A and B are shown apart, each in its own frame.
Chain A
Amino acid sequence: MNTAIASSPDRQPTDWSADAMQRRIRARYRAEKRFRFYGLFAVLLSAGFLAFLLVTMISSGARGFTQTQIALPVNFPASDIFLEPSQLDGDDRDQLLAQTDFQGLARQSAIAAYGEDGPAFLSNGAWVLLRDAVSEDPSLLTRNETLWVPASTEVDFAARGDSGMRQSEERDTMSTRYAELEAADQVRRTLSWNFLTLADSSDPTLVGIWGALKGSLLTMTITLLLAFPIGVLTAVYLEEYAPENRWTDIIEVSINNLAAVPSIIFGLLGLAVFINVFYLPRSAAIVGGLTLALMTMPVIVIAGRNAIKSVPPSIRDAALGIGASPVQVLTHHVLPLSLPGILTGTIIGMSRALGETAPLLLIGMRAFVATPPGGFTDPATVLPVQIFLWSDELDPGFVEKTSAAIIVLLLFLLAMNGIAIWLRNKYEQRW
């Protein structure tokens, strides 16, 4: 056929300079450019989405690290509380402090300073600060002292000129009052460590992430202690020892499957096995750590196998050749050489576990935890779950706190991944 066409006498050579041909070529080049542009557009759109997400979070979260404070002049001697500094030297100091009506004191002082609606300017938890101040310095009780305490969410919103969810009239009065306060230097905005040192609370001006952070830390400790050794041992077994038989196949298949199972299934497993069969305490760091360890282990196994596989066989042969035993080959040569790769995989697996929420919701780590957990069996919550819980809150003051918590979480993940990349670049050898 082809030869027939080629030798056919009526077939002319293509006239490339003809108008039709030129148009075709131009059209093809345009299509080429267009296609290239689509590609660039797709990349930029994806990157733009990431940038948009980060900018949204940072712009709405940056305020979460600050606190609007209001000056509260407290006249301790003239107040209704009858405490003497000397009384606080005894052993019953805590009890005395607990019995004293600081809440009323805060109310009184606010009314004295700002009129009838004064208490509305203070955060609901402002009295705790009064108590702590007195506990720290009992001599306060004999003086007239101005303390800076957290302002209420409404004042906070007025401070930023944000409507929040209030009615417009209320908002306007609050704005004018705020302007007056500001002119009198009675409010200030400061960077506050409170967000990093406090735990969950129902009042958005007094919440912090230390409780959740500590929960995450405890959970991750359990996860690391379980997943890392088991993962590395499994990887070593599969790469160095496993005979080629059905058992090995089953182990490999189940590891690959586990790596692909949706995380929520691990939550169901944790609920059914750890809580309902082993009766471990609900919402404790130990159950969360166990569940996440099962989830992280396949990641470590797969990364570990790749790292071990990349150690050249000549090194093993050389070591065996001069009389090393298999375990010596492993501990003296193969493991040290593959350790950077294993650690990189471990960090990546751990960072995934740190951001995981769904399985922990199922095992009950969504409790309201107002005091940081003290141990592995105390009720705890973790950073991502805390974000989820705050995102459900109706109080608009939680929006910036949620975003601020997200910033903290992203910073942690960034640091972990940065370490992983650094490790890989510094220690990885190409054979």
Chain B
Amino acid sequence: MVIGFAVIAWFTARFRAARLRPLGGDRPHSLPGYHGWYVALWLAIPALLFLTVWSLFLPGLVEQSVLLDPAAQNLPASQIERTAILGEARALADGSLTAAFNEEAEALVPAYQEASGFYGVIGIIATLLLAFACGAYAFLRVRPDFRARNRVERVVMWVLLIASLIAILTTIGIVASLLFETIRFFERISIVEFIFGTHWNPQSTTFSDDPGSFGAIPLFWGTILIGAIIAMIVAIPLGLMSAVYLTQYAPAKVRSVMKPVLEILAGVPTVVYGYFAALTVAPAIRDFAVNVMGVSSASSESALAAGVVMGVMIIPFVSSMADDSLAAVPGAMRDGSLAMGATNSETIKRVLIPAALPGIVGGVLLAVSRAIGETMIVVMAAGLAANLTANPFESVTTVTVQIVQLLTGDQEFDSSKTLAAFALGLVLFIVTLLLNIIALGVVKRFREAYE
């Protein structure tokens, strides 16, 4: 409704400002449209702000007046029961409940309806009054020499600034929520045991916080084994060689087809990779391990299956970072090497790749940070058992798997398990952040070296 009035205000003020034109000697300072915006903003912003504040206070005001009602005199004294009954009465009053569980709630319904109707009317009247007062104030200022444009642009500026502050708020929100829960976790479980303990089995702790079950070393190791070792063994050679081939050898036509094809690999949702890993790759690898390698302990949730599929997912990242780094090496170095009689491959191996190495390493670090934060592939294809093993055919678990595992059960929010998930999240956040900072630093220094 306020928006509707603002639209009307925009038109009337614009009209009035347009009429002003012939009156003044000079042209008015601002275009009519700006006067329209000025009045509309004045009308809408204070009213909407008031509405927001009002709707925050409304439940409290309604509740207070309900408690003054004679029907509320015989409410139980205990705070919890009282809130329960009040909540029920509220639900009854707005029609989301049809039958009451507590009889007292039934008695409070008329009081509730009356109070919320009363305060609702007050709110609407106050909002309208405010809107009209502010709108009238602004409307009276519509004069030829009034600098409506500058005022409106200042408002726009503020809107832009507030929008960009949301990014900071999100970052603060992440850090604060992770830190807050993690600190509560470390009040129960010692930090030393969390970081250096080698036994992880939080599902076994029911009520007592068994201190021996929160050692996260097996998770860190599993994450490193899958994300930083197996996935990279797949992704680095394939990604690097793809980039070399596509930038140095491939005819333009092949390049224009194969580059988007590789990029599709990065666009496939991770849940699809996860399903593929669990359905096709993992059984194949288990059969291979049992029948060909003779590894009897091979698990159908092997680290290898998750790692290989994750490596495939990472190929486009490594490839595009390597691509950029190779392109950043000055052409003179390449030409010089070729002029000395080196073959293409010798130039690539001995000149281009060493020169581009910092950039490539930076890209690999970014890829690692992506791989260890990856969730769905490992949730679906890697196991839950926290084994501390270097055998890639066995099942390991990762930090992200455990976060999902700990938070998707039906436990209350305060349990150590839930808090442990936030502690793991904080570790993940810090590690990926550090990897990104280091990687970007390396890449930046490398770029500067050739500029």
Q: Which residues of A contact B (CB under 8 A)?
A: 28-29, 31-32, 34-36, 38-43, 45-47, 49-50, 53, 56-57, 229-230, 233-234, 236-238, 241-242, 250-251, 254-258, 260-266, 268-269, 271-273, 276, 294, 297-298, 301, 325-327, 351-352, 354-358, 361-362, 364, 366, 384-385, 387-388, 391, 399, 402-403, 406, 409-410, 413, 417
Kindly list chain B residues whose C-beta atoms are within 8 Å of the C-beta of A39.
241-242, 244-246, 248-249
Interchain CB contact under 8 A, A43 and B429: no
Interchain CB contact under 8 A, B275 and A32: no
Interchain CB contact under 8 A, B167 and A269: no
Kindly list chain B residues whose C-beta atoms are within 8 Å of the C-beta of A409.
269, 272
B156, B258, B432: residue with the most chain A Cβ atoms closer than 10 Å: B156
- Min CB distance B354 to A, Å, is 15
Interchain CB contact under 8 A, A32 and B345: yes
Among B9-17, B74-82, B157-165, the one that faces the other chain is B157-165
Among B174-182, B286-294, B296-304, B388-396, the one that faces the other chain is B174-182
Cα–Cα distance between A355 and B163 once the two chains are bound (Å)? 26
Interchain CB contact under 8 A, A297 and B374: no
- B435 closest partner in A (C-beta): A260
Instruction: Indicate which residue in B178, B376, B433 contacts A268 across the interface (CB closer than 8 Å).
Output: B178
Kindly list chain A residues whose C-beta atoms are within 8 Å of the C-beta of B244.
39
Interchain CB contact under 8 A, A297 and B408: no
Cα–Cα distance between A385 and B374 once the two chains are bound (Å)? 15
Is B425 interfacial (CB 8 A cutoff)?
yes
Cα–Cα distance between A39 and B240 once the two chains are bound (Å)? 9
Interchain CB contact under 8 A, B166 and A230: yes
Q: A28-B346, A254-B171, A358-B375 are in contact. List 13 more A-B contacts (CB 8 A).
A: A31-B346, A49-B265, A237-B163, A262-B373, A327-B156, A355-B271, A355-B272, A357-B375, A358-B400, A361-B404, A384-B269, A388-B275, A410-B272
Q: Which 9 A-B pairs have the closest CB atoms?
A: A262-B373, A39-B245, A355-B269, A233-B163, A42-B241, A272-B177, A35-B345, A358-B375, A237-B160
Interchain CB contact under 8 A, A406 and B267: no
Tell me whether A261 and B429 are in contact in the complex, defined as CB-CB below 8 angstroms, given that A255-B167, A269-B177, A272-B422 are known contacts: yes
Is B173 interfacial (CB 8 A cutoff)?
yes
Is B348 interfacial (CB 8 A cutoff)?
yes
Kindly list chain A residues whose C-beta atoms are within 8 Å of the C-beta of B400.
262, 264, 358
- A237 closest partner in B (C-beta): B160
Cα–Cα distance between A255 and B279 once the two chains are bound (Å)? 37
Interface majority SS (helix, strand, loop, mixed), chain A: helix
- Min CB distance B227 to A, Å, is 11
Interchain CB contact under 8 A, B167 and A258: yes
Interchain CB contact under 8 A, B261 and A388: no
Render B230-245 as a binary contact track against A, CB cut-off 8 A, 1 for contact: 0000000111111011
Tell me whether A265 and B428 are in contact in the complex, defined as CB-CB below 8 angstroms, given that A31-B343, A42-B237, A45-B238 are known contacts: yes
- B342 closest partner in A (C-beta): A28
Interchain CB contact under 8 A, B164 and A40: no
21 A-B residue pairings within 8 Å (CB atoms): A28-B346, A34-B345, A36-B249, A45-B238, A50-B264, A56-B276, A233-B163, A234-B160, A238-B164, A260-B432, A264-B425, A265-B428, A268-B177, A272-B180, A272-B422, A327-B152, A327-B156, A361-B379, A362-B404, A366-B408, A402-B275
Interchain CB contact under 8 A, B159 and A233: yes
Tell me whether A265 and B425 are in contact in the complex, defined as CB-CB below 8 angstroms, given that A53-B276, A251-B164, A271-B407 are known contacts: yes
Interchain CB contact under 8 A, A46 and B315: yes
Tell me whether A264 and B373 are in contact in the complex, defined as CB-CB below 8 angstroms, given that A53-B272, A355-B271, A361-B404 are known contacts: yes
- Min CB distance B248 to A, Å, is 8
Tell me whether A268 and B421 are in contact in the complex, defined as CB-CB below 8 angstroms, given that A42-B237, A357-B269, A358-B404 are known contacts: yes
Cα–Cα distance between A260 and B319 once the two chains are bound (Å)? 18
Kindly list chain A residues whose C-beta atoms are within 8 Å of the C-beta of B150.
325
Kindly list chain B residues whose C-beta atoms are within 8 Å of the C-beta of A36.
245, 249, 344-345
Interchain CB contact under 8 A, A265 and B429: yes
- Min CB distance A39 to B, Å, is 3
- Min CB distance A122 to B, Å, is 28
Instruction: Indicate which residue in B274, B315, B413 contacts A388 across the interface (CB closer than 8 Å).
Output: B274
Instruction: Indicate which residue in B152, B170, B249, B344 contacts A258 across the interface (CB closer than 8 Å).
Output: B170
Interchain CB contact under 8 A, B276 and A46: no
Is B397 interfacial (CB 8 A cutoff)?
no
Kindly list chain A residues whose C-beta atoms are within 8 Å of the C-beta of B242.
39, 42-43, 46
Cα–Cα distance between A402 and B274 once the two chains are bound (Å)? 12
Is B140 interfacial (CB 8 A cutoff)?
no
- Min CB distance A57 to B, Å, is 7
Tell me whether A258 and B163 are in contact in the complex, defined as CB-CB below 8 angstroms, given that A35-B348, A46-B242, A325-B149 are known contacts: no
Cα–Cα distance between A104 and B142 once the two chains are bound (Å)? 77
Kindly list chain B residues whose C-beta atoms are within 8 Å of the C-beta of A35.
344-345, 348-349
- A298 closest partner in B (C-beta): B167
- B255 closest partner in A (C-beta): A43
- A38 closest partner in B (C-beta): B241
B153, B239, B269, B319: residue with the most chain A Cβ atoms closer than 10 Å: B269
Interchain CB contact under 8 A, A46 and B407: no
- Min CB distance B36 to A, Å, is 14
- Min CB distance A309 to B, Å, is 16
Is B380 interfacial (CB 8 A cutoff)?
yes
Is B387 interfacial (CB 8 A cutoff)?
no
Cα–Cα distance between A233 and B158 once the two chains are bound (Å)? 11
Cα–Cα distance between A50 and B238 once the two chains are bound (Å)? 13
Render B127-150 as a binary contact track against A, CB cut-off 8 A, 1 for contact: 000000000000000000000011
Tell me whether A362 and B408 are in contact in the complex, defined as CB-CB below 8 angstroms, given that A35-B345, A254-B170, A261-B174 are known contacts: yes
Kindly list chain B residues whose C-beta atoms are within 8 Å of the C-beta of A256.
440
Is B201 interfacial (CB 8 A cutoff)?
no
- Min CB distance B177 to A, Å, is 4
- Min CB distance A379 to B, Å, is 15
Interchain CB contact under 8 A, A273 and B153: no
Interchain CB contact under 8 A, A262 and B375: yes
- B240 closest partner in A (C-beta): A42
Interchain CB contact under 8 A, B167 and A251: yes
Is B403 interfacial (CB 8 A cutoff)?
yes
Kindly list chain A residues whose C-beta atoms are within 8 Å of the C-beta of B268.
50, 53, 355, 410, 413
Kindly list chain B residues whose C-beta atoms are within 8 Å of the C-beta of A297.
166-167, 170
- A253 closest partner in B (C-beta): B171
